[in-house]
Structure 1
């Protein structure tokens, strides 16, 4: 009891580091103006996909869990909420700045860097939207939709909460990757499947209430309307030429999200019980990572097992469990690995098999796929 009362959140001063991500485009602008080089626009992708994985390795893991007695105080502190709130206006300011830069022309090298910059920022903003969208407070749910608008992925608000969390780690879930399925095969399946699922879930909700789904109360339509309004305003302000930029960065953004979806449940399967129903979601059905750095930058999204077992639990209270399967690295590293299927299979397939005691038939696998059993950890 004394130890529990003495516990304190050692990560408390670190959480504002999550706001570094949406400020990176401004640092890139400063470097570009100071050097006159278009390479400045590559700061964000280099930092997120290069520097953060390196820091992850150097800093290592954090397996500290808040005791139950500390949770009420953590939940009562508005400090944690305001960090997620501040992310959204900074995200929008970065997008406006990027559109202004694009409208003046920056050459092919700078344009590619700017698309990746905005796409990565808005893709990571989907994680902030994810944290906000699971909460019951109206302001947080609306901020979630606003954060999703730059990627045109507002339907994620519906599909993730009412689709993915119900069907996770089953073949019926478009956001749960199958053993032997490459990211490049997963991408079209999850993008199309998630959109279709969101629309069906929302239209069925309206029909059960005997009202038309073609209404401003349709959460898919009003989320998409936000994107249309945002893109229209930016095109009016900076010229129609920014539309191509907005579309390209949006594709990068939601592709980052789907890469994270890919690694979070790869090959994991909820078994059926005696009644033929899937077992309840528990910490065994999501891949975890305890890397401190990426957990700070991603509001502890990597403690994904606790999130799925307790979806309303706020990021500062999420726990790690021994029964959860563990990724060998943080999300930033695993995202890069997912882009190279042979390396991904070499690193991950044997971990899936080990999780199921060598029984490939218990995994969520591509039909007929037979993973190699002799791979060793990379």
Structure 2
């Protein structure tokens, strides 16, 4: 029988403790790196295959880590807190997988795009391949984007808008594409169905070998993995708004429509995802070439530190709302408000009768 504080079980918590305690601490100690690669070196840097091989090699590592975690739970008698520790660690691994799928899914080579689908399939989140590239990047920092958080919106409210909204937008986008090609939405060319079939085979095989008691474990791991993406989406565009122009289209996405972070260690861990401003302005640019720009909205910590802050909405709003107002020069027409809280926030921060913020639907640029 395991004791509640068994030293063997404490090891299972190390991955989660590393993410939420060690990485923010290292970010604080090592600090930020605002340097950029020289532009004349970028073409060679983009073609340097070393950086691609790093991403390729990580795919089997992530698969192995996921399988070992699930098989470990399925073949060992663990108390509930031991199972929880593995769920959080395995879900955290899926979060890295979603980030890897994000990096490769933006690329044009067939190999990288398939590796992205294979990686996303680990967490049953293959629709992200479609939703992010063709949905989020089109609608980012607008009220119509379920993956852009709003000022005054907590991460918990955001989850219930972002997760289902992302899937439905992905399905609609893929259905439209296949219809234009004269093909059925249920075709094997559906880029949502492709990774979903990999997921079904993977999860079905694990359940067949380890038993139906693994179903809730697998569902919780998949949810926690998806939540890693959701919390990243939450902090990346919080409250930032592209203006709706007279022609009914949103202005082009610019670097100042994303929150940026140059914290060194977490950027190493996330393939420079935190240089999100350049990523959205130039989405096909490879991670090793992403740049910092002056006068960007800046996060006070790397993503891992911001995740912990987001879990306590009162602290999040205290930290981020003032930063948001400074980033947009207190112009409410540049703020993506939570509609139900707009008037209250306008009064609280004394924003006056400035130009009305658009909260309706529009056509993304």
Q: Please state how far the C-alpha of 1:36 moved relative to its aligned partner.
A: 5.4
Structure 2 stretches lacking a partner, 5+ long: 1-5, 351-365
TM-score, scaled relative to structure 2: 0.90
Q: Does residue 315 of the first structure (1) align with residue 287 of the second (2)? A: yes
Task: Give the Å deviation of 1:275.
Answer: 2.3
Instruction: Tell whether 2:132 aligns with 1:156.
Output: no
Taking the TM superposition and a 5 Å limit, the aligned residue runs for 1:88-99 are: 88-99=59-70
How is 1:202-217 mapped onto 2 (pairs within 5 angstroms)? 202-217=174-189
Check the 8 A contact 1:203/1:213 in 2, yes or no.
Answer: yes
Picking from 349, 354, 362, the partner of 1:373 is: 349
Deviation (angstroms), 1:205: 0.8
Q: Secondary structure at the match of 2:122?
A: helix
- Kindly indicate whether the alpha-carbon contact (under 8 Å) linking 1:306 and 1:318 is maintained by their aligned counterparts in 2: yes
8 Å Cα contact 1:170-1:270 kept in structure 2: yes
Cα displacement string for residues 181-232 of structure 1 (whole angstroms, at most 9, x for unaligned residues): 1101110100111011000000111112222111111011112111111101
Mapping for residues 51-66 of structure 1, pairs under 5 Å: 51-66=22-37
Q: TM-score, normalised by structure 1?
A: 0.87
Partner of 1:12: none
Which secondary structure does the structure 2 equivalent of 1:151 belong to? coil
| Two-structure CA RMSD over aligned residues (Å) | 1.3
Question: What is the Cα deviation at residue 57 of structure 1?
Answer: 0.1
| 1:272, distance to aligned residue in structure 2 (A) | 2.3
Cα separation, 2, equivalents of 1:362 and 1:288:
17
Q: Which residue in 2 is equivalent to 1:100?
A: 71
- CA distance, structure 1, for counterparts of residue 118 and residue 247 of structure 2: 41
- For 1:1-378, list aligned pairs within 5 A: 37-103=8-74, 104-367=76-339, 368-369=341-342, 370-371=344-345, 372-373=348-349
**Contact map agreement 1:39 1:109 (CA 8 A) in 2:** no
Cα distance per residue 1:258-291 (max 9 Å; x no partner): 0000000000000123423211111010000010
Worse-superposed segment, 280-289 or 267-276: 267-276
How far residue 105 of structure 1 moved from its aligned partner, in angstroms, is 2.2
Deviation at 1:101, TM superposition (A): 1.1
Q: How far off is 1:39 after superposition?
A: 1.4
Tell me the CA shift for residue 108 of structure 1: 1.2
- Structure 2 distance, partners of 1:373, 1:44, is 40
Q: Distance in 2 between matches of 1:201 and 1:301?
A: 24
Note the C-alpha offset of 1:110.
0.9
Where 1:218 maps in the other structure, the secondary structure is coil
Q: How many residues align?
A: 340
